[in-house]
């Protein structure tokens, strides 16, 4: 079994710093290289995000299999669930579950919604989508390869449920970017 953070305390702190900045500044790409040896199939950033946030209190869904699945169960202690609607954290390494299929919270407890971590092929913040909303002064740009073709449509629907809604963390290699539910995505036509 591959190890977790070489230093659990500072590894989690630096993983959290990347996640907090990602959620506070949507689309702004953060370096997250606290985990040096992720198991096969997991990106360092995605694995670090799970180690930072998930534990026995947080039901977790993932499509990761084999060694990666065992690694997640062992190092986080999170109960793995089959039903995406019951998960507090989801890690998609291949096909992402539909945004509407996860727990969106309730109007009184919107914080109970799931956080979806998606491993994507690439992230680039020089061009692409135009992001606006809280955390963004004018606009941020983001190009993501490896998401479903209709992601922006699903995202627009997610925004209509506010304050309910899922929050997304996009991970590629040692980099990650956040899409909190408040972010508006505009596609250039």
Partner 1 sequence: MNAMPPRNTPGSAYNFAYLDEATKRMIRRAILKALAIPGHQIPFGAREMPLPYGWGTGGIQVTAAILGPRDVLKVIDQGADDTTNAVSIRAFFAKVAGIATTTRTAEATIIQTRHRIPERPLTEGQVMVFQVPMPEPLFRLEPRLAETRRLHALGDYSLAQVKLYEDIAKQGEAGTSYNHPVMVAGRYLMSPSPIPGFDNPKLHNSPAIMLFGAGREKKIYAVPPYTAVESLDFDDHPFRPMRAPHACSACGSTTSYLDEIVADDQGGRIYVCSDTDHCRENQTP
Binding site for partner 1 (CB under 8 A): 1, 4-5, 8-10, 12-14, 16-17, 19-20, 23-25, 51-58, 73-78, 106-108, 110-111, 113, 115, 134-137, 162-163, 165, 167, 180-182
Are residues 35 and 4 in contact, defined by beta-carbon separation less than 8 angstroms?
yes
User: Of 148 and 161, which has the nearer Cβ to partner 1?
Assistant: 161
User: Of 101 and 182, which has the nearer Cβ to partner 1?
Assistant: 182
> For 53, what's the count of Cα atoms within 13 Å in the CB-facing half-sphere?
23
User: Of 4 and 39, which has the nearer Cβ to partner 1?
Assistant: 4
Are residues 51 and 5 in contact, defined by beta-carbon separation less than 8 angstroms?
yes
The minimum distance between CB 163 and partner 1, in angstroms, equals 5
The minimum distance between CB 160 and partner 1, in angstroms, equals 14
Q: Tokens for 24?
A: 């506070």
| Distance between CA atoms of residues 98 and 68, nearest Å | 22
The minimum distance between CB 187 and partner 1, in angstroms, equals 22
| Distance between CA atoms of residues 29 and 171, nearest Å | 9
- Taking the CB of residue 124, how many other CB atoms lie within 10 A of it? 15
Nearest by Cα to 42 from 7, 10, 4: 4
User: Of 111 and 126, which has the nearer Cβ to partner 1?
Assistant: 111
User: Of 43 and 167, which has the nearer Cβ to partner 1?
Assistant: 167
Distance of CA 119 to the CA centre of its chain: 8
The minimum distance between CB 189 and partner 1, in angstroms, equals 26
Nearest by Cα to 165 from 108, 120, 90, 102: 102
């Amino acid at each position: 079994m591959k190890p977790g953070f070489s230093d659990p305390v500072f590894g989690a702190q630096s993983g959290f710093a990347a996640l907090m900045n990602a959620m506070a500044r949507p689309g702004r790409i953060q370096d997250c290289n606290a985990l040096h040896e992720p198991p096969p199939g997991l990106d360092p950033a995605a694995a670090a995000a799970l180690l930072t946030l998930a534990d026995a209190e947080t039901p977790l869904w993932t499509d990761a299999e084999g060694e990666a699945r065992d690694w997640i169960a062992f190092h986080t202690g999170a109960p793995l669930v089959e039903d995406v609607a019951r998960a507090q954290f989801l890690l998609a390494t291949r096909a992402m579950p539909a945004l509407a299929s996860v727990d969106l919270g309730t109007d009184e407890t919107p914080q109970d919604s799931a956080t979806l971590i998606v491993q994507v092929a690439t992230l680039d913040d020089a061009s692409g989508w135009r992001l606006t909303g809280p955390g963004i002064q004018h606009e941020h740009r983001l190009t993501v390869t490896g998401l479903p073709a209709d992601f922006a449509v699903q995202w627009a629907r997610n925004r209509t449920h506010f304050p309910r809604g899922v929050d997304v963390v996009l991970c590629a290699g040692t980099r990650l970017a956040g899409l909190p539910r408040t972010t508006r995505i505009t596609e250039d036509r």
